[in-house]
Amino acid sequence: MNNYEPSPKGKCPHCKGEVELGTVNKEIKGAGFIKQEIMYICPHCRSVLGFSRGKFMS
């Protein structure tokens, strides 16, 4: 039986460094009750990888 466990890895499009989901830096803005924005940053070159918005609480 194969014990292969996929891990969420990717490559930074700027520095081509290997990035794991757990090592990506996050900068969170907002309390999260009304609006929350998350910016994902490469831990190697500090380039912005993407943005995400938190869910609105109802």
For 11-56, the pLDDT digits (tens) are 899 999 888 877 777 777 776 566 778 888 898 999 998 888 766 5
- DSSP code, position 31: -
Instruction: State the pTM of this model.
Output: 0.62
How far is Cα 36 from Cα 53, in angstroms, rounded to an integer? 6
Q: What tokens were used for 33? A: 């009750």
20 forms beta bridges with 9
**For residues 42 and 2, which has the higher predicted lDDT (pLDDT)?**
42
How far is Cα 39 from Cα 32, in angstroms, rounded to an integer? 14
pLDDT of residue 58: 47
pLDDT of residue 19: 85
Every domain of the chain and the residues it spans: 9-53
**For residues 9 and 14, which has the higher predicted lDDT (pLDDT)?**
14
